[in-house]
Amino acid sequence: MESHLFYLSSNPRPELERAEGIHMWAKTGKRYLDGSSGAMVSNIGHSNPAVLAAMRAQMEKSTFGYRLHFMTEPSERLAAKTAALCPGDLNKVFFVSGGSEAVESTLKLARQYAVAKGEAQRFKVISRTPSYHGSTLGALAVTGYAPLAAPFAPMMHEMPKIPAPRAYLDGLDLEDPATGEHYAAMLEAKIVEEGAQTVLAFIQEPVGGASTGALVPPKGYMEAVREICDKYGVLLIHDEVMSGGGRTGKFWGADHWGAVPDIISISKGFGGGYVPLGAMIARDDMVQTVMDAGGFMHGHTYAGNPLACSAGLAVLDEIERLGLVENAALMGDKLQARLRGLMNRFSFIGDVRGKGLLTAFELVSDRGTMEPLPRELNAFDRLVEHAYAQGLIIYSRRTRGGTSGDHFLVCPPMIIGDEGLDELMEMLEAALVSFAAEAGL
């Protein structure tokens, strides 16, 4: 059948029949293990009965109530539950339908806050390279991946960037506090270079997502970044679209370091693949300042609809009831240990990194220099295809400025147990063997 959609994979893909737990079935009857939770979305697994029941029950009552006409119980309850999970005095929640919208909202709130405080000269948002913060023009302007932004360059204000703290590429020790200071100093230097009075915010992913392949910041980095932001009156935005919701083994990625931002974005696992859902959570006083100055000039029609919020609420309840944050920490440790074990067998695995079940490995041609594999091997695509043939779904990206550097996210649903992990590792190993044979490695 000819498809009228133009965003599908360029590789042939079968039609999806159904999905349950950590598995998905194509119409051909073949079973796949969802080793990347889609795009790090299906955190509590597929077809969770409690979530489906909550959605059904809400659908019987109402599926939409416009926010200017009604308040709804699911949105109020989800906002309260989300606020209770947030650090510091971040307790005001703004719902959206996805990650880009969530990031866009953080940028607009930050800007309106600065204007309301009489600091209208602040408009620059510093971010990192590589990074991914979304596909809308504002989120793209702070995304540190040039090929995505290049075609749209005249339509947006390109924002200043600093290098992401990729200690593994720079041969620096993650555990050495000097490493954290080294990368944090780049933020301070950039703020000064840009003119501190013009800098509105710094945005970062606490544990990196697809752009860096689960990058973990070095010791001391998160704390130092917070101090630098405070020193120059720069707002700190944590993009937890992927790292929020428990996947890293703590509810927020930043919880591993106790670093408290001013604004957070979350999506992906927040709706868990059941509904398009995201949120921005901000400091109480910031929101109050903006509201006192005339209100937040932002909104999306579907924001906070009761159906999406009922699903989001049930997702959070299931995460709690099943102890999934704890399971992500436990199974993430096991997964990373087993991936490191594969480094003995496959010399082209250069690095294994991540927190909890936000885990990745990177392929290299030389572990000493971390030289990437030759670009023409197309490893980021080929290994995914070998895994797919086995019945394993993994997620890949090629970064390092878009030139080379292939990394693979192995991020199964947080419900995975030992049996699922065995199955995943068996297929991954077989995929690595056939990839190595094809690539002559």
**Least distance from C-beta 359 to ligand PLP, angstroms?**
15
Q: Which is nearer to ligand PLP, 141 or 439 (CB)?
A: 141
**Least distance from C-beta 37 to ligand PLP, angstroms?**
12
Q: Which is nearer to ligand PLP, 1 or 8 (CB)?
A: 8
Q: Which is nearer to ligand PLP, 91 or 135 (CB)?
A: 135
Residues 21, 317: Cα–Cα separation, whole Å: 17
- Reduced to 3 states (helix: H, G, I; strand: E, B; else coil), residue 318 is helix
C-alpha distance from residue 52 to each of 16, 267, 274, 307, 318 (Å): 19, 19, 8, 11, 12
Q: Which is nearer to ligand PLP, 132 or 221 (CB)?
A: 132
> Do 260 and 88 touch, CB atoms closer than 8 A?
yes
DSSP assignment of 12-50 = --PPEEEEEBTEEEETTS-EEEETTHHHHT-TT-BS-HH
Chain positions 357 to 416 lying near ligand PLP, rule: CB under 6 A, are none
The piece of 128-136, 170-178, 280-288, 340-348 that touches ligand PLP (CB under 6 A) is 128-136
Residues 210, 398: Cα–Cα separation, whole Å: 9
Residues 322, 292: Cα–Cα separation, whole Å: 41
Q: Give yes or no for residue 253 binding ligand PLP (CB under 6 A).
A: no
From 51, 210, 229, 287, residue interacting with ligand PLP (rule: CB under 6 A): 210
DSSP designation for 265: E
The piece of 19-27, 44-52, 133-141, 285-293 that touches ligand PLP (CB under 6 A) is 133-141
C-alpha distance from residue 379 to each of 384, 387, 393, 402, 428 (Å): 8, 12, 15, 13, 14
**Least distance from C-beta 117 to ligand PLP, angstroms?**
26
Q: Which is nearer to ligand PLP, 215 or 439 (CB)?
A: 215
**Least distance from C-beta 121 to ligand PLP, angstroms?**
27
Residues 87, 68: Cα–Cα separation, whole Å: 29
Q: Give yes or no for residue 133 binding ligand PLP (CB under 6 A).
A: yes
Chain positions 43 to 102 lying near ligand PLP, rule: CB under 6 A, are 98-100
Residues 210, 410: Cα–Cα separation, whole Å: 11
Task: State the Cα torsion 328-331-332-337 to the nearest 10°.
Answer: 170
**Least distance from C-beta 269 to ligand PLP, angstroms?**
11
Helices 306-321, 49-61: inter-axial angle, 10-degree rounding? 150
**Least distance from C-beta 163 to ligand PLP, angstroms?**
17
Count Cβ atoms below 10 Å from residue 15 Cβ, excluding itself. 8
Residues 362, 348: Cα–Cα separation, whole Å: 8
Q: Give yes or no for residue 134 binding ligand PLP (CB under 6 A).
A: yes
Q: Which is nearer to ligand PLP, 74 or 209 (CB)?
A: 209
Q: Give yes or no for residue 205 binding ligand PLP (CB under 6 A).
A: yes
C-alpha distance from residue 181 to each of 125, 259, 383 (Å): 21, 15, 36
User: Which residues pair with residue 363 across a beta bridge?
Assistant: 349, 406
Instruction: Count Cβ atoms within 10 A of the Cβ of residue 419 and give its class: 0-12 exposed, 13-18 middle, 19 or more buried.
Output: exposed
Q: Give yes or no for residue 318 binding ligand PLP (CB under 6 A).
A: no
Q: Read off the tokens for 180.
A: 């954290």
From 242, 363, 384, 387, residue interacting with ligand PLP (rule: CB under 6 A): 242
**Least distance from C-beta 234 to ligand PLP, angstroms?**
20
Whether residue 49 is preceded by a cis peptide bond, meaning omega within 30 degrees of 0, is: no
**Least distance from C-beta 130 to ligand PLP, angstroms?**
11
- Dihedral sign for Cα atoms in the order 136, 137, 141, 144: positive
Per-residue contact string for residues 98-127; x = within reach of ligand PLP by CB under 6 A: xxx--x------------------------
Nearest residue to ligand PLP, by Cβ distance, number only: 99
The piece of 59-67, 72-80, 105-113, 131-139 that touches ligand PLP (CB under 6 A) is 131-139
Q: Which is nearer to ligand PLP, 311 or 432 (CB)?
A: 311
Size of the site for ligand PLP (CB under 6 A): 15
**Least distance from C-beta 99 to ligand PLP, angstroms?**
2
Q: Give yes or no for residue 262 binding ligand PLP (CB under 6 A).
A: no
- Reduced to 3 states (helix: H, G, I; strand: E, B; else coil), residue 239 is strand
Q: Which is nearer to ligand PLP, 390 or 399 (CB)?
A: 399
Site for ligand PLP, rule CB under 6 A: 98-100, 103, 132-135, 205, 209-210, 239, 241-242, 267
